[in-house]
Structure 1
Amino acid sequence: MLKCDPQTYKDLELGKLQDILREYCVGPSALKIVEQLKPVQNNEELMKFLQQTNEMVEIRREGESFPRLEFEELQSEIRMLPVQNASLPQESFARIRLASAMVNSLLFFFNKRELDFPQLAELLSNVEFTKEIIEKIDFIFDKHGKVKDDASPDLLYVRQQMQSIKRSIHSTFDKSMRKYFKKGYLSDTKEGYFDDRRVLSVLSSYKRDVVGQVVGNSKSGNVTFVEPGETVPLNKELEQLKDDERKEIFLILQKLTFEMLAYLPLIKDYQQVLTKLDFINAKCRLALLLDANLPAINENKAFDLIDCFHPLLKMNNDSLGKKTIPQRITMDENSRMLVISGPNAGGKSITLKTVGLLQLMLQCGLLVPLHPNSKMCFFDELLTDIGDNQSIVDELSTYSYRLKRMRHFLNVANENSLLLLDEFGTGSDPDLGGALAEVFFETLYDRKSYGVITTHYSNIKLKADKLPEAINGCMLFDTETLNPLFKFSMGQPGSSFTFEVAQINGIPKKLINRAKAKLDSKKVEMDQLLHELQKEKSYLNRLTKEHILAQETADKHRQYYEVTKEKYDRKLASLQNKAEETNKLVSLGNKLQHYIDEYKVGAKKKNVNDPLLQDLKKYIAKEKSKTEEAKQEIRLKKQANKKSAKPNKVVNEYQQDKIKIGSKVKLIATKQTGDVEEIKGGDVTVLLGFARMKVKLAQLIWVSN
């Protein structure tokens, strides 16, 4: 279970993610859960929540036809149903029907998918598929939500009477209107409406000549609205029938309410299931927005965050069209105290906040924006000291606040704590504050705590280098352009590049040199050494990239050579075959030409050409025999190949025919996703994060190109 204090939530800005979740919720109950979003205290329950969200993300990413979550909450219906002789309003039955249809469609979706999405399917274990609720409601209401005429015999009779009275009213009114119109008593509009009743539009000068009840006047006073005397009793009778209709509808709905009471436990389950799915769906939509995933969860205290992003930074950069540099941050029992150094405005604080916010998101049951091959673990305590928290009201300075915060850390920190300390030790005299910070660092280290610390203090960097379970890291800086790269690198401390940053911000070089002269020579030498180390590392990184690029280019040219060679080999073989066929035909032509030349035309002796013809027949028979033997040999080879060849069934189930170099694929066994780097026959090399794996084509599922 993870404990956080309000300051940690504020420092890591969890509230901004809650704002996004609120927009994705359908009902107020899910909104309430978002308002109270906190780390889940039970790790077993936390894993269930994470897997539920991950399954929903899988459904969305794989394009499954998941039912659209459209429903209205049933809280008021659940309260009203047990009340004796209660009658639910018409809209309540529409909500119950919608919820029942929604749950039925969910049960239909998860039918035979329990193995694929076990955690989501388990949510529906308490509800059952039933059409009875829908049938009972549909018997009373039409598709527009109005009570049907035949909902009861008495209602049918009352409505028939109402229709008859309405016809009489219209007929009588039309008769009166024609009569007074002929007399010229009516205005151009002839009629109007008052309280849903038709009334005559009488010129005010004739209002006493019209028999009826005056109900109002126009704004100008020129027109008086009169209800004809003949329709007054009819309208009164209609009002009585409407009252009878209301009473009968109340009795019908009261009876239907009593019938719904039998389904109250199921309706309560509807409310619970739909609320949970509403919240899970909101978390899923947030995960899709952030391209978030569920990492592997370690039982021991270790994490490997591959290609991780700070979600709020990435969303902001995406809106501005800026690229966000992904980071890789690794910590375990041998590197549990990470000290990050480097230039100001180089990304130290963001890297620290990324670790903290991702850990907080995970333990609140949210998926996190990193590569799916990443690994994370659970902590019991997450504590932060980030930013300037001085208080004028409490007369608390920045340094006083930090000391007060550190006192709290020293009281609670243990081997299950993750501490995030930004600009560790600042706020006081550099030498004195640095010495105290070093003592705090050693104490937290001795407590076996895990921590990510950003600092400019050389003594903290040196201490991290000496302690076996601590490690330095730095934010990289381009020493040629004097610009921060916003890339994190593990294993070595970084220079603060104080003078370089001053230079790019326009501080004169003369002033910078004077400042250097005032420093202890050893401190300048150490900073210069860090500067040179980082410069060399940048150079080596560039060489490595160039080497990889050269290797890739060589591989491309080799592949091109092999493809081209194979093409020319085939062409050469084809030309050789054609040359052999041509030579054979030339030989045959020469032989036949010989027979033609030897044939004697117009010879006086009979049968003089018989020996020649006999020789020709023998030659033709011999050549024909050779042709038949060649054909027979081809037929035998084909039969032999058919017998020896195993049946080759092409399985298109996972669209493996689409897999090519550059495709995104998923391993069937582990569900890890990666990119295809090389294909040789049935063997495929897949890049999974920073690892390469060679697998068979049949072990992969095509995802996208």
Structure 2
Amino acid sequence: NIHIAGTWIEENTLFDLRRSLQTIRDIVIFLKRDEEENTPYPHLYALAGEVVVFPQLLSKIDSILDKFGRVKDNASPELSRIRKDIAYISSGISKNLNAILRLAQSEGLVEKDVTPTMRDGRLVIPVAPAFKRKIKGIVHDESASGKTVFIEPAEVVEANNRIRELESEERREIIKILIAFTDILRPLVPDILLSYEFLATIDFIRAKAILAIDLGAIMPDIENVQLLRWYGAKHPLLFISHRKQNKQIIPLDIELEEDNRLLIISGPNAGGKSVCLKTVGLLQYMVQCGIPIPLEERSKVGIFDNIFIDIGDEQSIENDLSTYSSHLTNMKFFVKNCNSRTILLIDEFGGGTEPQIGGAIAESLLKRFNEKSTFGVITTHYQNLKHFANENKGVVNGAMLYDRHLMQPLFTLSIGNPGSSFAIEIARKIGLPEDVIADASEIVGSDYINMDKYLQDIVRDKRYWETKRQSIRQKEKRLEEITETYETDLLSFDKQRKEIIKQAKAEAEHILAEANAKIENTIRTIRESQAEKEKTKEARLVLNKFKDTLVNEEHLIDDKITRKIQKLKDKEKNKKQKESLQKDPKQNTIAIGDNVRIKGQLTIGQVLDIQKGNATIAFGMIKSTAKLDSLEYVSKSQVKRENKSTLVSAATSDDIREKKLNFKLDIDIRGMRGDEALQAVMYFIDDAILVGVSRVRILHGTGTGALRQIIRDYLRSVPNVHNYQDEHVQFGGTGITVVDLE
């Protein structure tokens, strides 16, 4: 809080402020780089119109902080002087300490490879406990194993004290600089907060755009009426979850309009009813929050004033609410407050109590909702609600389709007919005794069983005709594509034929002109020779020779035209062969959509695109490009056989990902025995290489140096170790080894 005079902003906060203000400035410059009438982002241009960017404040911060967020030496003359004194005295301490260390080494008091280290901000010398009285000074610390003590020699104690005093002066001077800056900053705080609100708005807009790109979402055609006309809608969370598992989501098509406002969805358990309902609720809420949603562009989206939701179990011991009581509490609120601009989302309508009375109350509520022209998506298993939807305008049945032969849900919504719960079939598939199923069928009666069977038949027939219609649509589309291709090719052939004929005519006219000139020249020669036999004979020979040349050229032109036409035919033939090869995956030629693997490898991918001998392949979530020559075709049966190995590789990938998240860049082996420490470091380096870390630190302490030597001998033998060295003296010196990995 800097509102009070005399307070100051800390260095790290000031650095964050500088980066935020720079970001705001860059955004405003980007949005206002064009004139208002020419900008591609008119709304964002208007949003950035009155935002203050504080260039003088940025310049002032840059005069105080360096690019790493540390106060500069030249932030003030006094700070510059203090830091120069610290550097000078530190240099003197290092020289004295090294001289003392060399003397101690020569007397055998300290190991030869020992270097000064840092303890509590003071430079000290590591010494074995037996020799600690041989060196005059202050003992500051000892190693975890107790085999090393850290002594500050008496000769440098005073200098180290002076360093501490200068550091205190440095901190006081930095606070003085920050207080002066804070006094400049304080009056600008309200405007800065407004700029931060602009930054938050831009960040929110960008987050929406990133989410939309990730989901393949669009901003659909929105109308200020109450309707849902959605095609290819996807539940965002389910889409992301399935994508991680390389599974396809089945999109939702749903229409709710004035005549069919309330959709009653029925069908088997785990058939997708609740997912359908939650997709509607989530996407409608997202779009009314201004977030793009994943559906097809031809969809239309309406606006609702209220979205009422009753999903899940809201029972409460404290409030004496059972599951059914909580549902009724919600229904009481819905009936009281719903209107024509409300959409209801109710899961398992009427559930939680005795079926007959529960179904009756649910039907009565549904009647009230319909009378108030409310929109809604409601899931249920009650037959009376299905009958109500069939007999009342404004309410429509919907079914989640189910494959009776495979006994598995299709997760597809079909509007117009109710769905069967397939209770008998599912019970039989699970293996419930046949006599139990027979008794249950007798209890509910033949009418109920037959009605359920008729529903199943309707669903089956509808699915058959839907499949048939889809197949016809695909064939019609393919036929249109083939027709368009042939029409294009015919136009191309006609154009090329005209070009060839035009060229041939031009050549013929040229030859004819040459022939006329030759004939006239021959006649002139005969006349000039006054009908001398030799001259006449010679002229005729020349003319005949030219005639033969014309005939040969005519043949050559004919051959040329024939060759061109044949070339066009061959081109069309090759094109058809290529199309047929792409359609037939059993051929050796690889086509788009085939399963392939790179020769010599096990991973199977799918071909997404082929261009100029190169194929784009999807290996799970990773796309790669490879030469067609390096790929081999994999049949569907092979893919099924290798599913198990795929699961294993996926599990391995998950293990590596988890290991990478939990991996720590430091290992502390101080106090361990040599063999125990070596084993720990071996596992640590293996894990570091596996997760792809570039630098790690091993804390082994100084001590006698034996542990350090063992570790370095091992590191020298590891091929992936690029370099290893002591840590900087201020961060541990010889007590820590820094390892760089390739």
TM over 0.5: yes
Q: Assess, with a 3 A threshold, how the Cα gap between structure 1 residues 600 and 535 changes in structure 2: closer, same or farther.
A: same
In the alignment, is residue 108 of structure 1 matched against residue 29 of structure 2? yes
| Residue in 2 that maps onto 1:321 | 246
**Whole-Å Cα distance in 2 between the matches of residues 373 and 337 of structure 1?**
22
3-state SS of 1:336 partner: strand
3-state SS of 1:415 partner: coil
In the alignment, is residue 84 of structure 1 matched against residue 5 of structure 2? yes
More displaced 10-residue stretch of structure 1: 545-554 or 565-574: 565-574
| Residue in 1 that maps onto 2:268 | 343
Residue 94 of structure 1 deviates from its aligned partner by 1.0
Q: Assess, with a 3 A threshold, how the Cα gap between structure 1 residues 323 and 590 changes in structure 2: closer, same or farther.
A: same
Aligned-residue sequence identity (percent) comes to 31
- Asked if the contact 2:268/2:421 (under 8 Å) is kept, the reply is yes
In the alignment, is residue 152 of structure 1 matched against residue 82 of structure 2? no
Q: Assess, with a 3 A threshold, how the Cα gap between structure 1 residues 124 and 576 changes in structure 2: closer, same or farther.
A: closer
1:64-75 matches, cutoff 5 A: none
1:664-675 matches, cutoff 5 A: none
- Asked if the contact 1:305/1:374 (under 8 Å) is kept, the reply is yes
Match of 1:225 among 114, 133, 151: 151
- Asked if the contact 2:73/2:83 (under 8 Å) is kept, the reply is yes
In the alignment, is residue 133 of structure 1 matched against residue 57 of structure 2? yes
| Residue in 2 that maps onto 1:356 | 281
Q: Deviations over 1:397-421 (max 9, x none)?
A: 5444433433333333333332222
In the alignment, is residue 411 of structure 1 matched against residue 336 of structure 2? yes
**Whole-Å Cα distance in 2 between the matches of residues 482 and 437 of structure 1?**
30
Residue 446 of structure 1 deviates from its aligned partner by 1.7
Match of 1:259 among 175, 180, 184: 184
3-state SS of 1:488 partner: strand
1:201-600 matches, cutoff 5 A: 213-215=137-139, 225=151, 227-229=153-155, 231-389=156-314, 397-478=322-403, 481=406, 483-506=408-431, 516=441, 519=444, 522-524=447-449, 526-570=451-495, 572-573=497-498, 576=501, 585=511, 592=518
- Asked if the contact 2:239/2:249 (under 8 Å) is kept, the reply is yes
In the alignment, is residue 142 of structure 1 matched against residue 98 of structure 2? no
**Whole-Å Cα distance in 2 between the matches of residues 270 and 389 of structure 1?**
43
What letter is aligned with 2:53?
F
Which structure 1 segments of 5+ residues have no match? 1-78, 621-705
- Asked if the contact 1:303/1:375 (under 8 Å) is kept, the reply is yes
- Asked if the contact 1:363/1:378 (under 8 Å) is kept, the reply is yes
Residue 239 of structure 1 deviates from its aligned partner by 4.0
Which structure 2 segments of 5+ residues have no match? 547-742
| Residue in 1 that maps onto 2:640 | none
**Whole-Å Cα distance in 2 between the matches of residues 190 and 492 of structure 1?**
86
3-state SS of 2:260 partner: coil
**Whole-Å Cα distance in 2 between the matches of residues 222 and 509 of structure 1?**
81
Residue 226 of structure 1 deviates from its aligned partner by 5.3
Q: Assess, with a 3 A threshold, how the Cα gap between structure 1 residues 609 and 267 changes in structure 2: closer, same or farther.
A: same
- Asked if the contact 1:189/1:201 (under 8 Å) is kept, the reply is no
In the alignment, is residue 192 of structure 1 matched against residue 113 of structure 2? no
3-state SS of 1:456 partner: coil
Q: Assess, with a 3 A threshold, how the Cα gap between structure 1 residues 503 and 566 changes in structure 2: closer, same or farther.
A: farther
3-state SS of 1:306 partner: strand
- Asked if the contact 2:116/2:123 (under 8 Å) is kept, the reply is yes
1:652-691 matches, cutoff 5 A: none
Q: Deviations over 1:199-244 (max 9, x none)?
A: 567888887787x544458666897835244x45444444444443
Q: Tell me the TM-score normalized by structure 1.
A: 0.64
**Whole-Å Cα distance in 2 between the matches of residues 182 and 534 of structure 1?**
97
Residue 454 of structure 1 deviates from its aligned partner by 2.1
Higher relative contact order (CA 8 A, sep 6+): 1
3-state SS of 1:494 partner: coil
| Residue in 2 that maps onto 1:658 | none
Q: Assess, with a 3 A threshold, how the Cα gap between structure 1 residues 207 and 334 changes in structure 2: closer, same or farther.
A: closer
- Asked if the contact 2:529/2:536 (under 8 Å) is kept, the reply is no
3-state SS of 2:396 partner: strand
Q: Assess, with a 3 A threshold, how the Cα gap between structure 1 residues 100 and 521 changes in structure 2: closer, same or farther.
A: same
- Asked if the contact 1:381/1:418 (under 8 Å) is kept, the reply is yes
**Whole-Å Cα distance in 1 between the matches of residues 381 and 109 of structure 2?**
97
Residue 121 of structure 1 deviates from its aligned partner by 4.2
- Asked if the contact 1:299/1:377 (under 8 Å) is kept, the reply is yes
Q: Deviations over 1:149-208 (max 9, x none)?
A: 332233333344444444554555566666777777766467634555555678888877
**Whole-Å Cα distance in 2 between the matches of residues 563 and 357 of structure 1?**
46
Q: Assess, with a 3 A threshold, how the Cα gap between structure 1 residues 255 and 364 changes in structure 2: closer, same or farther.
A: same
- Asked if the contact 1:434/1:459 (under 8 Å) is kept, the reply is yes
| Residue in 2 that maps onto 1:97 | 18
3-state SS of 1:263 partner: helix
- Asked if the contact 1:192/1:225 (under 8 Å) is kept, the reply is no
- Asked if the contact 2:124/2:150 (under 8 Å) is kept, the reply is no
What letter is aligned with 1:477?
Y
**Whole-Å Cα distance in 1 between the matches of residues 98 and 406 of structure 2?**
92
What letter is aligned with 1:92?
T
3-state SS of 1:360 partner: helix
- Asked if the contact 1:176/1:228 (under 8 Å) is kept, the reply is no
Number of aligned residue pairs: 536
**Whole-Å Cα distance in 2 between the matches of residues 610 and 179 of structure 1?**
127
**Whole-Å Cα distance in 1 between the matches of residues 204 and 426 of structure 2?**
46
Q: Assess, with a 3 A threshold, how the Cα gap between structure 1 residues 316 and 232 changes in structure 2: closer, same or farther.
A: closer
- Asked if the contact 2:53/2:195 (under 8 Å) is kept, the reply is no
Residue 439 of structure 1 deviates from its aligned partner by 1.8
- Asked if the contact 1:381/1:416 (under 8 Å) is kept, the reply is yes
| Residue in 2 that maps onto 1:664 | none
- Asked if the contact 2:283/2:293 (under 8 Å) is kept, the reply is yes
Q: Assess, with a 3 A threshold, how the Cα gap between structure 1 residues 498 and 184 changes in structure 2: closer, same or farther.
A: closer
What letter is aligned with 2:410?
L
